[in-house]
Amino acid sequence: MIRHLTCSFLFLSLAAATARADEIRLKNGDRLNGEIIRMEKDRLTVKLPYADDKVRIDWKQVECIASERDLTVELSDYEVLVGPVTCTDGAIQIKSSRAGTSNPISLKELRTVNPATYHGFLTAGGSIATGNTDTKAATLSTLFQVRTKRHRFTVEAKYAYGEADSRTTVRNSLGSLKYDFFTTDKVYTYAQTLLEKDSFANLNLRNTEGLGAGYQFFDDRALSLYAEAGISYFNEDVIVGEDRQDAAGRWAAGLEWEAVPDRLKVFHRQEGTTPPRCPGSRSGLTRGCEFPW
């Protein structure tokens, strides 16, 4: 009797789990049953019961999706609907407890599904070489970013160390905190604080505070490109010499390009400042003027 009840319970549990599985219909006629994790930047991530790793599907190849559980769906106009999703004639309908059942929505109108609000990375590297000169080097860097419709917070830190023949040759670190407020889909204003330290550049500590504006040209899975311009004020504490404080213009640009989908991503970020005016100089470009960078 106990064995019979146990088998019945396992059967019902399996049936319930199967019923709750999400369905993904592809344009080639295939149907997948699993768990929809999220869709962002034209890539649908799905966990299939028979695969160890998550499967990523090109959103353009998806005909429709359906789920008996609540999904968070963000439309192209940034309207957010939460509820079970049904598939109807290549479109979806969302049964929201707040707004009721929606009209059929084309998949082209979906911006994200179950969007992730944060992402980041941590990288570490090092090298050891022996010979005429024994050298060691180590680097560590991390970036963490939280993004919503109007707000983006970015925290970044870096550290580098190197030595040759047991003598330290490189030791510097950096930490920054940045906040972006999007006034439109592409235009944003920013506030940034930056701390830098470099023992071999006579820099005990440099603190930089900046304000400005930026433009997000692209921001999808294949390509991300932005440019910024603003003004910064810095306070520089040097190891030897006189401390300095001044203001300067700031510009920055960043690029991320997925050269090979899910395999290779190329990125480049660059930041620069325009020199402040020197005492007694009208143009700020007087030969022999000392700048703090």
Q: Confidence class of residue 1 from pLDDT cuts 50, 70 and 90?
A: very low
Query: What token pair was written down for 27?
Result: 């344009």
Please report the pLDDT score of residue 276 as a whole number. 54
> What CA dihedral angle connects 163, 164, 169 and 170, to 10 degrees?
-40
CB 126 within 8 A of CB 89: no
Handedness of CA 99, 103, 109, 113 (dihedral sign): positive
Please report the pLDDT score of residue 12 as a whole number. 42
Per the DSSP assignment, residues forming a β-bridge with 164 are 135, 167
Please report the pLDDT score of residue 41 as a whole number. 81
CB 214 within 8 A of CB 227: yes
Mean pLDDT over 177-181 rounds to 97
pLDDT digits 0-9 by tens, 236-284: 999 999 998 999 999 999 999 888 876 788 889 898 888 654 443 333 3
Mean pLDDT over 186-205 rounds to 94
Is 215's pLDDT higher than 60? yes
Please report the pLDDT score of residue 275 as a whole number. 66
User: Residue 215 has what DSSP assignment?
Assistant: E
Mean pLDDT over 56-70 rounds to 92
Instruction: Estimate to the nearest angstrom the gap between the alpha carbon of 293 and the chain centroid.
Output: 29
Query: What secondary structure does DSSP assign to 225-252, as a single string?
Result: EEEEEEEEEEEEEESSS--EEEEEEEEE
Is 159's pLDDT higher than 90? yes
Report which of 126, 123, 206 is spatially closest to residue 170, judged by C-alpha positions.
126
Q: What is the reported pTM? A: 0.65
